[in-house]
Structure 1
Amino acid sequence: MLINEVQEYLNIEDVNKYFGETKVLHGLTLHIKQGEFVAIVGRSGCGKSTLLRLIAGLETPTNGSIKMQGEELCGINKKIRVLFQEARLLPWKRVIDNVKLGMQKENTSIAKQVIHDVGLEEHNDKWPDILSGGQQQRVALARALVAEPEVLLLDEPLGALDALTRIEMQQLIEKLWLAKKFTAILVTHDVSEAVALASRVIFIDHGKIAMDIAIQLSRPRHRNNDFTYYEKKILDQIMGNAESVIEDTKKLEYAI
């Protein structure tokens, strides 16, 4: 595959998104390579989850375009799956049947294999409500991956988990990404999580890209001085933008 073909895998060009009169995304342009792991960080309301929903086909841009391999994305695309913060399992279906919901054509052996991949092979016939929160997210992850999507969108999927379970899930997601080679786009408030998982971190501020940084760390990643360098660099940018907004607000109040 040629380099320019890789670079043109997922193209978001000059996208604006309004909700009523509120403009959430401002001419956002982003190019994602096939197989990349991209993390999107930013404060609440900055537009990061809106961007993910646009890629997923759950929302449509007010204007601008989102293309995958040169074709406009219109509505839900079977090549793209989403893992949300809530597992959203059906309580009246057992684990394996919840996973099968992600399949175009039901196949029990494939479903069992993916359940094995997420470490729940002994839970095939259990009901969701007896599983822990981390186990439920593993089921949701298996359901998202069972159809072998090309793109996995992760919308704060670990936000409700305890610290130890969160680290375990980070390691599992990284392991599956390396093995299955899908393109991953993670939305998170946690800068440490972004650095731990992503090959590239995007900081969105007020609907615009304020930072785009490659994370050049070997895998598996360890929280050493190099790791801390990237954490601090991203946090400094986030806090710097926040201080700039506060200062501008003070100037406006003074002028009034």
Structure 2
Amino acid sequence: MTTTTSSVSAAPHRAALSPLGLLTLLLGTALPMIDFFVVNVALPAVARDLHAPPATLEMVVAGYAVAYAVLLVLGGRLGDCFGRRRLFLWGVAGFGATSLACGLAPGAWWLVAARAAQGAASAALLPQVLATLHATTSGERRARAVALYGSVGGVSVVLGQVLGGVLVAADLAGTGWRAVFLVNVPVAAVAFGCALRSVPDSRAERPGRADLAGTALLAAALCALLLPLTEGRA
């Protein structure tokens, strides 16, 4: 009697993304997007409390955006190489820690540095979301997941402005503007715990090399442009 052995595909098995995993990824997406807009409402209170001049307030906003823009591609490449779930977890943990540093900032330049670090954490976190959605879903489920991902960005613009105004006006436990950052800490902790349980790992089959020299050159160029524009008048 002859037996035939079916060939086994060499492609790796892809873990399916559960509803809780999708919710966790969307929560991770919303955190840095909301935080980009929520701080705008808090800037007048920051200026009064920390005696920050207008140029320093501009750096509070720009430091986050520049760090995010410079490190975004590098964050995606690192996720491809070392695992997107791992980078997502690092990004969420870093975002929570830097949010705490922002909320406890004793001075304006401390806040600027903490915001830049927060932007770096966002650059590690956000690229993993869309890559994980494409790696762990297919067909109609992927279309639905990507549509939800896109809608989170639009909602975050509005929610960030409203949430910032509510938190500053509420002055929870006397925290004032600091609440717009401190509120991220428990949310990031929840997202981290859910990601450990529900977000499957994935990585690129042929990851590209991280361009460290290019990243450093881009950072230097943007800083050389940004600093004169913000500090020049002062």
TM-score over 0.5 (shorter chain): no
Larger Rg: 2
Q: Which has the higher contact order (CA 8 A, sep 6+)?
A: 2
Q: Judging by fraction of residues, say which structure has more strand.
A: 1
Scaled to the shorter chain, the TM-score interval is under 0.3
Q: Judging by fraction of residues, say which structure has more helix.
A: 2
